[in-house]
């Protein structure tokens, strides 16, 4: 009886441990979402967008956010940058929720491709998603082989992501191949998205008990109340986003080339050439021809070159303003590569720019002040000063005119006087000509 009792006890112990392990694993598989970091994309997809999203993901890890919400409204962008963002989402251990919002917004082209990777994809009423066929700036890709290669590559990628997330892979493929576009209700009906969401406050209700596929595992979301923390683009990212727009970069390139040409046609002024160099550097950064850090250092170096040229060229502050703009832009772009773990403090950048601006204004004030006095006062005026006799140079025969060598504030002058003075005596200067004094 004792042996049977021991066996029964062992069996119960094993069952208890198994049940505890089961419930522990079940609990561990749940993702509790209370803190959500909110990002916002309201522009074309450019390297600045990737930099912003990457920093947002790092911020979410640092402040221990449970999930990342990306509000999206984009007309599309660069395929290379889109693939980098897809990799970023795929490697994320936090649920990434993409919400096409507000009304009138769209996730077009690159936006639709990025949306296919979201762990949870939501849309507001009055929005649309799709039209993701790759194009060039001048229109559709002309060569049939190149077009087929590009389209098939993106189609397979998007369908694979959609299938992994449990969405309609076929229609996601049609967005690439046929440039199909779907409004919110149709997208929900065709299982392209997970839900329609019109108010951010309803997000916890949409997420609660939803099963998502993340890092190769099916996980259930548990969410009751959500606290949102916004993370916006900083000034450097906003500027980079503007210059990275292909149209903006192309216009800057044309302006820069025209100014350089003007400098060669009318050399000597340096104003057109300097401004042209500034525009060409920005264009090179926008075209990604010049690595961002090299471009940033180039802008900072150009800034100090412009400050030096301002000393020798009368530009009425144009070169100084261009230099200040070049300095601030270059400083904001510095250390924004993908593998950078340090960043220049914006407070330090603005303080340095403020100090340079103050110095330039101070110098400009005194230059303007002296410019107003030109012709009104004589340079190095000695009238009324006390001169010390150093030597007697000559004396007229009648004793009515004497010439002396005098010293005033360290300067040696010739002085004429009708009075006789001994060496070491002081005499007041009454008149001044270009080369001599009278006393």
**Coil, strand, or helix at residue 146?**
helix
Q: Residues with Cβ < 8 Å from 189, sequence gap 6 or more?
A: none
Question: Tokens representing 319?
Answer: 């070169």
Per-residue pLDDT of the chain (439 residues; tens, 9 = 90+): 444 445 565 665 566 665 555 444 444 478 999 999 999 999 888 878 888 899 899 999 999 999 999 999 998 888 888 999 999 999 999 999 999 999 999 999 999 999 999 999 999 999 999 987 776 544 444 455 556 777 888 889 899 999 999 999 999 999 988 889 999 999 999 999 999 999 999 999 999 999 999 988 899 999 989 999 999 887 777 777 777 777 788 888 889 888 888 888 776 667 788 888 888 888 887 777 777 778 788 888 888 888 888 777 767 777 888 888 888 887 777 655 544 434 556 676 667 777 777 776 776 666 666 555 555 555 567 788 888 888 888 888 777 888 889 888 777 888 888 888 888 888 988 888 777 888 7
What's the CATH class of domain 31-235?
alpha beta
Ranges of each domain in the chain: 31-235, 245-370, 385-438
CA 166, CA 119: separation in Å to the nearest integer? 10
| Closest listed residue to residue 437, CA positions, set 422, 411, 424, 423 | 411
DSSP state of 135: E
Whole-number Å distance between alpha carbons of 351 and 327:
12
φ/ψ of residue 95, rounded to 5: -60, 135
- Identify the three-state secondary structure at position 31: strand
Q: Which CATH entry fits the domain spanning 385-438: 1.10.3470, 2.40.10, 2.40.50, 2.60.120?
A: 2.40.50
118 touches 96 (CB < 8 A):
yes
């Amino acid at each position: 009886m004792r042996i049977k009792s021991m066996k029964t006890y062992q069996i119960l112990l094993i069952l208890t441990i198994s049940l505890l392990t089961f419930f522990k694993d079940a609990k561990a598989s749940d993702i509790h979402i209370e803190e959500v970091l909110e990002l916002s994309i309201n522009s074309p997809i450019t390297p600045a967008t990737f930099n912003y999203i990457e920093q947002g993901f790092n911020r979410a890890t640092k402040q221990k956010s449970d999930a990342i919400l990306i509000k999206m409204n984009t007309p599309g962008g660069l395929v290379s940058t889109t693939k980098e963002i897809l990799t970023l989402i795929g490697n994320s251990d936090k649920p990434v929720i993409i919400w096409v919002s507000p009304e009138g917004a769209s996730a077009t082209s690159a936006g639709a491709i990025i949306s296919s990777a979201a762990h949870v994809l939501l849309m507001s009423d009055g929005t649309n998603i799709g039209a993701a066929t790759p194009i060039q700036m001048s229109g559709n890709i002309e060569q049939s082989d190149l077009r087929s290669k590009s389209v098939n590559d993106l189609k397979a990628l998007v369908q694979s992501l959609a299938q992994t997330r449990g969405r309609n892979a076929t229609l996601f493929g049609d967005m690439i191949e046929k440039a199909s576009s779907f409004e919110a209700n149709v997208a929900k009906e065709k299982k392209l998205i997970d839900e329609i969401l019109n108010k951010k406050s309803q997000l916890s209700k949409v997420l609660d008990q939803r099963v998502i596929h993340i890092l190769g595992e099916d996980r259930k979301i548990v969410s009751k109340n959500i606290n949102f923390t916004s993370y916006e683009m900083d000034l450097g990212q906003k500027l980079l986003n503007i210059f990275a727009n292909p149209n903006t970069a192309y216009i800057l390139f044309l302006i820069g080339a025209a100014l350089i040409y003007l400098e060669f046609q009318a050399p000597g002024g340096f104003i057109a050439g300097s401004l042209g160099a500034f525009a060409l550097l920005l264009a090179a950064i926008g075209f990604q021809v010049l690595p961002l850090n090299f471009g940033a250092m180039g802008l900072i170096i150009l800034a100090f070159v412009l400050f030096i040229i301002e000393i020798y060229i009368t530009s009425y502050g144009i070169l100084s303003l261009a230099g200040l703009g070049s300095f601030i832009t270059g400083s904001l772009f510095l250390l924004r590569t993908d593998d950078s773990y340090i960043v220049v403090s914006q407070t330090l950048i603005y303080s340095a720019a403020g100090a340079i601006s103050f110095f330039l204004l101070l110098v400009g004030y005194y230059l303007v002040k002296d410019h107003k006095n030109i012709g009104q006062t004589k340079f190095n005026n000695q009238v009324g000063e006390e001169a010390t006799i150093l030597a007697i140079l000559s004396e007229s025969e009648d004793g009515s005119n004497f010439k002396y060598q005098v010293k005033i504030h360290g300067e040696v002058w010739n002085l004429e006087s009708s009075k006789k003075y001994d060496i070491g005596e002081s005499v007041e200067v009454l008149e001044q000509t270009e080369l001599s004094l009278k006393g």
